[in-house]
Every structure is written in structure tokens, then in C-alpha cells.
Amino acid sequence: MKEVSKAVKVGFGLAVFAVAITAINLRAGVSSLAPVIGQVAESFGVSSSTAGILTSLPGFCFAIMGWLAVPIARRLGLSPTLVAGSVALLVGLAIRPFIDSYLPFFVLTVVLVAGIAVANILLPAWVKEHSRGTNQVRLMMTYTAMLGASGAIGPLSALFFSGSSAWRWALGVWVVPVIVQTIVWAIVLSKTKRDIPSTGVMPDPDELAEASPKANSNPGGSLLKSPTAIAMLLFFGIQSAGAYAQMGWLPAILVEDGVRESTASIALALLGGFNVIGGVLMPWLLSRLNSVVPLPIILGAITTTGWLGVMSAPTAAPLLWASLLGIGGMCFPLALALLTARTRSPLVTARLSGFVQPGGYIIAGIVPLVMGFLYSSTGSWDAALIMVTVMSLALIIFGVRAARNVYIDDELAQQS
């Protein structure tokens, strides 16, 4: 087997702080843009569809980094790559508020979202590499809880500033925790050095091929011919698309229909709050249910109801509709859990993750972009809302197929 460097563990207190401060920055830089995107478009003199391209960036960057982050980390190490991601996020957030034209603003948004994407992909691997047992569970709970909190608090910055430059302050304020994040990871790097991830964290096919036969149980076959793998990709992609549609456009939709900007910002914060609850609740439910098939049915129906409420009576109960969408967003931890629950072999799990997540994030990037174009071409959000409502119904269909007690290993083996 290849020589793999042994991980150098950091102190648990430092690890908790590093994970917490990083996770709190993984959504705020994105979700803080949604409440002020109309102001940004007006300031730069661009159309809603052009500004809406910014809402599609997280999905596309997560897809690209899904292919690139792991090879980069194998070459540079987990901690050095996470430091580089922190610096990219810092640069984007620090400079963006001072920009006066759309193109450099767009480029800096790409830079900061790429930094977020690196941490989004590698932080769970870093946790596995530098903790064991109960500490690992505690770190992952810290990660999921703070990730949800990040989405919740990001939109709230828009509530504290007013005037023509309000959007600059609402976006720029998030540079402060990122400065802390960068310093913390520099300290971590001084302790971990070049922590190349071990086989158990991010399996390399060559390493697995030289491992025990059990670890290398790879039936071959194409995931494109696996009905369950396709369903999982579409379930993950549709859920992620809905989440980015909410982060990118929900405040703008509510405000145009007469909801106060402060209420729209709180509505978006509610989505993140339910993500905190879902990150804890879904793993607990999955460990206790014999069948998880009812979960996508229930969550998909709740999501559909939320979008119908936004479409038909946005001013009647905007916080209720946001709460329903937030509960439906618990499909995200369910989708992640299914990656391991529907595979036997670590190699098949690695293949499935590399198939589902990048492909799903491409879908997640396209949908907010299409919503912006539909609004610009029709002058109304109706077509875009109909689209995401239909997608919520599709979430049920593909979720049920993905949640069935079927192993993808078996579907691959049947191809031979």
C-alpha cells in the first residue's frame, strides 16, 4: 500500500474552535447577499437576471470543487488547503464591498464562494483525520449545528444598516469572523504541517485496490446504469437547487409582493434555523427507523406546501411559509446519510459520493439562474415559483426511490 502520512492530532479545544468558526462562515457569505441583491443590481445598473447569476455560483463552485478539492488536499495536505480556502474567502469578502462595477464584484464572489466550497468539502474529512471516537462525534455535531446557524444569521446583517451603502456594510461585516478563521487555521497548520489524508478519510482507488479484499469490494459497472444512484443524484440535486433558490431569491420574491425587507430577512434566517435542527434530528431518526421511505414523502410535501404559500399568499404568513421550507430542507442531511446507507464497500461509497455531489450541485447552480431569467423575461415570479413547486413534487418521487432498502453494490454487480 502507498505510504500515507499519519495524521497529527490537534488539541480538542483548538479543533472545536477551528471547526466552529469555519462552519459559521460557510453560509453567511452567501446568504447575506440575498436580502440586498436588489440593491446590488440597482447599484451596478444590471438586470435581475444578471445579478441572479450570483445566486447560482455556490452550486457550480461546489460542483467544481467536488472534483478538485480532494486531489488538491492529497497533494498539499488538508490543513494547508483549508488555510488557502480561508484566505480566498477573506480576500473576496474584504474587497467586494469597495467595488463599483459588476464584473469585479462577480469575480470576487467566485473567489469567496470557492473558498467556502473548499471548507465545505474538506472540513468533515479534517474532522475524521484529527479526532477519534466521542470527540469526532462532538466535532461533527459542532460542524452541522454551526453550518445551520451560518445560514440563519447571514441574512440578519441586512437589518442593521440603511441608506445607499447599506448593502456594502451588510456584506462587508462578515469579513470579521473570517479574519478569525484565517488566524485559527494558521495556528492549526503550525501544529499539523502537511497532513495528507489517510485512506480511511478520503479513499484513493489505488490504495483501496492494495487493501484487503473486503475493503476493495468493487463490483464495477456504471453508476449511470444504477437506478438508485440516479435517483440519489436527482434527490440531492433537486433539494440543493431548492435551498439555493431560497437563499438567492426568497427575500426578493417576498419583498416584491409587499413583505417588509426586515421580515424577508428574518424569513431567510428561519431557513437556517431549521437546518440546525435538521442536522441533529435527521441522524437520530435514521438510526431508529426501519424504513426511511416516509421521510422524503413527508418532507417533500411540506416543501411543496411552503412554495404554494409563497406563490398564493406571500403576505399572509411569510414566516410560516419560510418555516415549512426550512423543515423541508431537512432532506439535505437525509440525502447525505443515504450515501453511506445504500452502499456496502468503501470504494463504492467513494464512487457514489463523487457521482452524486458534483452532479447534484450542477443542478443546484442551474435552477437559481433559470429563476432569474424567468423573472426578467416575464416580469413576474409566477413561472419561477411554479417550477420550484413542481420540483418539490419531484423531490418526493426521487426521494422514495433513493430511500428504498437497496444496495447500489448489488445494482452494479447485476450489470456484469
CA dist 414 → 112, 193, 220, 229, 408 (Å): 44, 45, 10, 14, 10
pLDDT over 90 (residue 299): yes
Locate CATH 1.20.1250.20 in the chain.
8-196, 207-416
pLDDT of residue 350: 63
Residue reference for cell 483501496: 208
- What mean pLDDT comes out for the span 12-34? 89
- Alpha-carbon distance 337 to 331, whole Å? 10
SS3 124: helix
If pLDDT is split at 50, 70 and 90, which confidence band does 231 have? very high
| Cα 74 versus chain centre, distance | 22
pLDDT of residue 6: 47
pLDDT of residue 196: 64
SS3 101: coil
CA dist 386 → 7, 303, 310, 356, 400 (Å): 49, 13, 10, 25, 22
- Alpha-carbon distance 296 to 331, whole Å? 7
- Alpha-carbon distance 72 to 113, whole Å? 17
CA-based end-to-end distance of the chain: 28
Sign of CA dihedral 116, 121, 126, 131: positive
- What mean pLDDT comes out for the span 41-48? 84
| Model pLDDT for residues 383-397, shown as the tens digit of each residue | 999 999 999 999 999
**Which superfamily does CATH assign the domain made up of 207-416 to?**
MFS general substrate transporter like domains (1.20.1250.20)
- What mean pLDDT comes out for the span 109-120? 89
pLDDT of residue 205: 42
Check if the beta carbon of residue 216 is closer than 8 Å to that of residue 351: no
**Among the ranges given (75-84, 132-141, 365-374), the one the predictor scored with the smallest mean pLDDT:** 132-141
pLDDT over 60 (residue 1): no
Q: What is the DSSP letter of 10?
A: P
Cell numbers at residue 389, please? 413547486
Q: What is the CA radius of gyration of the chain?
A: 21
pLDDT over 90 (residue 230): yes
pLDDT over 60 (residue 53): yes
- Alpha-carbon distance 105 to 95, whole Å? 9
Check if the beta carbon of residue 284 is closer than 8 Å to that of residue 141: no
pLDDT over 70 (residue 243): yes
SS3 222: coil
- Alpha-carbon distance 391 to 334, whole Å? 17
| Model pLDDT for residues 64-85, shown as the tens digit of each residue | 877 787 788 878 888 899 999 9
- Alpha-carbon distance 152 to 156, whole Å? 8
If pLDDT is split at 50, 70 and 90, which confidence band does 323 have? very high
pLDDT of residue 195: 65
- Alpha-carbon distance 358 to 361, whole Å? 5
Check if the beta carbon of residue 392 is closer than 8 Å to that of residue 242: yes
**Which superfamily does CATH assign the domain made up of 8-196 to?**
MFS general substrate transporter like domains (1.20.1250.20)
Which residues are CB-neighbours of 180 under 8 A, at least 6 positions away?
21
Sign of CA dihedral 170, 154, 354, 401: negative
Check if the beta carbon of residue 145 is closer than 8 Å to that of residue 276: yes
pLDDT over 60 (residue 43): yes
pLDDT of residue 385: 95
SS3 37: helix
